[in-house]
Amino acid sequence: MNLLLFNLKTDADADTQGFTTRWIAAIARDPRVEQIVVLTMYAGRIDVPENVQVFSLGRERGYSELRRFFRFYRLLFGILRKNRIDACFSHMSPILSVLAGPVLRVARIPLVTWFTHPSLTWKLKVAHRFSTRMVSAVASSYPYRKDKLAPLGHGIDMDEFPYCTPANEAAKMILCAGRLSSVKDHKTLLRAVALLQQRQGACVQVAVVGGPKDVAGERYFGELKQLARELRIDHFTQFVGTVPHAEVVGWYQRCTVHVNLTPEGFLDKVALESMACGRPSVVCNEGFIETLGPYREDLYFRHGRADELAERLEGVLSWPSEKHAEVGRALRAQVAERHGLTRLAQRLVDTLLQEG
């Protein structure tokens, strides 16, 4: 199969989108894939197998939106003229699915669009119309009609997030990883930690890894620091800020428990990454329920309920090291089975071949 692939950012060094390079490489390694031609909005450091070509629309060069529009069609028609394309995969690029949809339909090339986010826009609706199949991590992470939807899992690179034996430290660490945004609901975590302190005076550390991305995020960051002071937990709550993607795994491995507070519709990869490292992740999104398996009661709480989160944290922090290791190995196995990158690449190629 010769595959055309649309991507927003292809840069092996990118903090948040560096994983797409690993996705491309995993798909390219499938023996059923002969060649991949990537059309990307932005190109940084390219690190892909030999059977992958990457063409950029020029956002990294400062090209205007209009220039990128015309460049997209010039590259698209050139690729279709020079290559036999059997299918097209559009990753988190509904606008490119919209632009290419009519051309691909005339050429009878199936279009499979990946989207995992609660935001429902006109671009997604039109992309849905032109796509022969929509794919997402789980059904709840796709906000539109389910008539074309195939849930495939999230694509966690298990080699990048290796299992690590839980640390046996007197001071337990509660970690929350991810960008600082109000939708991440860090305030519920801070309130839960304050309740935890009131109940048992536990010796804990709290690390919030991730920084704001915009002005709203900066304002939210200020609110978090103020709340930590008001709750009198600021002396053991550390706001680490943004760290390079390669360093996040070290934070997962050092923590005792990870907390993810994003609501339904966001199947946040950081929760799965922490589980891949063998760390329990307390979550409030039902999309994780199947992955949690028999540990649902220990690790799930209702969104916004600081009291429930405090109870879950109190329980996990009291586990003996043997149970931490047992749960960690089980969760890693679940992530590999349901969300591992190798399995995702296989399922995606299966889907593309079925639609072709």
Chain mean pLDDT for the chain: 92
CA distance 246 to 97: 31
pLDDT digits (tens, 9 = 90+) for 226-264: 999 999 999 999 999 988 777 889 999 999 999 999 988
Q: Residue range 299-309: average pLDDT?
A: 95
Q: Residue range 264-285: average pLDDT?
A: 91
CA distance 301 to 310: 9
CA distance 344 to 331: 17
CA distance 98 to 129: 9
CA distance 236 to 219: 22
Which residues, 6 or more positions from 333, have their beta carbon under 8 angstroms from its beta carbon? none
Q: What is the DSSP letter of 156?
A: B
- β-pair partners for 239: 208
Predicted confidence at residue 213, as pLDDT, reads 85
In 71-221 the beta strands, taken as DSSP E runs, fall at: 87-91, 111-114, 133-136, 149-151, 172-177, 204-209
Q: Report the half-sphere exposure of 139 (CA within 13 A, side-chain side).
A: 7
SS3 342: helix
The residue among 335, 336, 356, 341 whose CA lies nearest residue 32 is 356
- Is the predicted pLDDT of residue 201 greater than 70, yes or no? no
Q: How confident is the model at residue 195 (pLDDT cuts 50, 70, 90)?
A: very high
How many residues are recorded in the chain? 356
pLDDT digits (tens, 9 = 90+) for 116-164: 988 899 999 999 999 999 999 989 889 999 999 999 999 999 999 999 8
- Is the predicted pLDDT of residue 198 greater than 90, yes or no? no
In the chain, the domains with their CATH numbers are 2-154+341-355 (3.40.50.2000), 172-338 (3.40.50.2000)
The residue among 237, 252, 118, 117 whose CA lies nearest residue 177 is 252
Q: Label the pairing between strands 257-260 and 133-136.
A: unpaired
Q: How confident is the model at residue 200 (pLDDT cuts 50, 70, 90)?
A: low
What are the angstrom distances between the C-alpha of 28 and each of 135, 137, 301, 327? 18, 20, 39, 33
- Is the predicted pLDDT of residue 197 greater than 90, yes or no? no
- Is the predicted pLDDT of residue 170 greater than 70, yes or no? no
Predicted confidence at residue 166, as pLDDT, reads 79
